[in-house]
Amino acid sequence: MAYRITLIPGDGTGPELIAATRRVLEATGVTFDWDVREAGADVMDKYGTPLPDTVLDSIRANKVALKGPITTPVGTGFRSVNVAIRKALDLYANVRPARTMQGIPVCHDNVDVVVVRENTEGLYAGIEHDVIPNEAAESIRIITRRGSERIVRFAFQYARANGRRLVTAVHKANILKATDGLYLRVAREVAEQYPDIEFNDRIVDNMCMQLVQRPREYDVLVLPNLFGDIVSDLASGLVGGLGVAPGANFGEELAVFEPVHGSAPKYTGMNKVNPTANILSGALMLRHLGELEAAKRVENAVAAVVAEGKNVTYDLKPTRDDPTAVGTSQMADAIIAAI
Ligand code: NAD
């Protein structure tokens, strides 16, 4: 039976990446009934909103979505569609594995960390306003016991289910005593309920330095929203960059799979960017659907193509202007051939 999945191509480079991902997933032999839904900057004129209600209704009905990146105007314009989807569907846990792959030059081998980012509160609650226009503005950072407890519990459950040894809670409780003080207290309480998993905590600035210098000492990181966003990109940089960093958003019942990276708009329509992050997000989706063998085949095929280093995009070549770099769709072809 075909899996009915909401498919959101997004905008910028999103449609090219989703086209490549779709072909790779279909090459596994698993069958899909794609429910394609438009969202993003390109549909503003057509629907009067970048996030039509029908997109959310489709995800609610199908329970699973695969998504390309969506552009958010900087400093002005409509609010982030990506954040709106996560909040509207209460997809509170953003899971972003970062693992080194053979063939990608990195500073440290054998890095394998998973960033678990709280997705619904913190500074992304979006409660901000001008105090005096053009002179002063303020933003309110929401941290709740409920939000902290469920994200830390998610991190421990994830660690248990995936044979992980350590959960590190990342915070700024020395300065943000009320908000991150609460987050850290709750994290310590939850940790006591998981004596089989080691627990420690790090202040976020120190965490960044430690990840750059000694990333192998870390395993599962659990962070409030903004710190999780920043540390996700740092973690992707440890393993080859945004082009290879997959992600997933989970709620109690619903799941949306999307790469860590954004829409890389300067490369739109150029068949240039790396489809790996989106394809590996698709592999995470296959795991979620229980299609473990198909997921493994996709991951192995990606690993083989990356290790060979021939049919890969510009970002995985020794220099950014390497003339032997292939395009998005050609890298997907190579992955399909490897499957
Ligand atoms: P970005 O992730 O789009 O790109 C930053 C840089 O990373 C690119 O210029 C490129 O050099 C590299 N990169 C990104 N994806 C790549 C890929 N697949 N292959 C190779 N290189 C890749 O970040 P940005 O430029 O800060 O943001 C662009 C837009 O995307 C913004 O509007 C932002 O709000 C949005 N965004 C969306 C999401 C999402 O859809 N979940 C996430 C982050 C940013």
Read off the pLDDT of residues 98-129 as tens digits, 9 standing for 90 and up: 999 999 999 999 999 999 999 999 998 889 99
The DSSP code sequence of 298-313 is: HHHHHHHHHHH-SS--
Per-residue confidence in pLDDT tens, the chain, 339 aa:
899 999 999 999 999 999 999 999 999 999 999 999 999 888 888 898 999 999 999 999 999 999 999 999 888 778 889 999 999 999 999 999 999 999 999 999 999 999 999 999 999 888 999 999 999 999 999 999 999 999 999 999 999 999 999 999 999 999 999 999 999 999 999 999 999 999 999 999 999 999 999 999 999 999 999 999 999 999 999 999 999 999 999 999 999 999 999 999 999 999 999 999 999 999 999 999 999 999 999 999 999 999 999 999 999 999 989 999 999 999 999 999 999
The helix-helix angle for 328-338 and 292-308 (nearest 10°) equals: 120
Decide if 45 is catalytic: no
Instruction: Compute φ and ψ for 30, nearest 5 degrees.
Output: -70, 140
177 is catalytic: no
Q: Is 147 in the pocket of ligand 1 (CB under 6 A)?
A: no
CA 33 → CA 6, 7, 25, 147, 197, distances in Å? 9, 10, 12, 34, 39
pLDDT of residue 76: 78
Neighbour count for residue 73 (Cβ, 10 Å): 11
Rounded Cα distance, 316 and 266, in Å? 18
Ligand 1 atom 44 nearest Cα: 262
Ligand 1 pocket test target in 76, 87, 234, 242 with most atoms within 8 Å of CB: 242
Residue nearest to atom 34 of ligand 1 (CA): 72
Instruction: Specify whether the CB–CB gap between 255 and 263 falls below 8 A.
Output: no
CA dist 114 → 94, 207, 240 (Å): 10, 14, 15
Q: Whole-model pTM?
A: 0.97
Q: Is 183 a catalytic residue?
A: no
Cα distances (Å, whole numbers) of residue 105 to 110, 202, 307: 12, 28, 10
- pLDDT for 126 equals 83
Per DSSP bridges, beta strands 255-257 and 248-250 are antiparallel
